[in-house]
Amino acid sequence: SIHTKRGAPPEHPKTLRVDYRCGFNEYHSEWICVAHPKGSYAWQKAQTWWQARSSEPMPGTVEQAVELAEAGALAQPLSITVRSVTGEKFDRITNYELGSIPTVVATNSAPDEPDYVWPDDDDIPF
């Protein structure tokens, strides 16, 4: 999902929030900075994260990242390793076991529509 940092100015880059469900009502989240300035530390971490999961190039916007994720462009996580540190507010995801990287995904294609054949009949049927 698209995440906007609380209290951030409108021009602050949004992030891709990834939630992992690890059990009944147990979730762990991480934030991927695909829209941060290119070359920054946060962007480089996002680039590494994306390349480990997709054959698609990393998108430039969070909206594009969500579209690709929803289209199935990211490898599915099989398991994650989470580190909890006493006194820290959030747990950290330290390792992943990922499924295979999906092949190229088309995101802007229209859904398949059936070919309709209209009867060649000029008469009103009643």
Chain centroid offset of residue 86 CA:
30
Helix (H) or strand (E) holding 79: strand 77-83
pLDDT band at 55 (very low <50, low <70, confident <90, very high): very high
- The single-letter code of the amino acid at 35 is A
| Residue 19 near residue 31 (C-beta atoms within 8 A) | no
Sign of CA dihedral 44, 78, 19, 111: positive
pTM of the model: 0.75
Residues pairing with 27 in the sheet? 21
Q: List the chain domain ranges.
A: 2-98
* 111 pLDDT more than 80: no
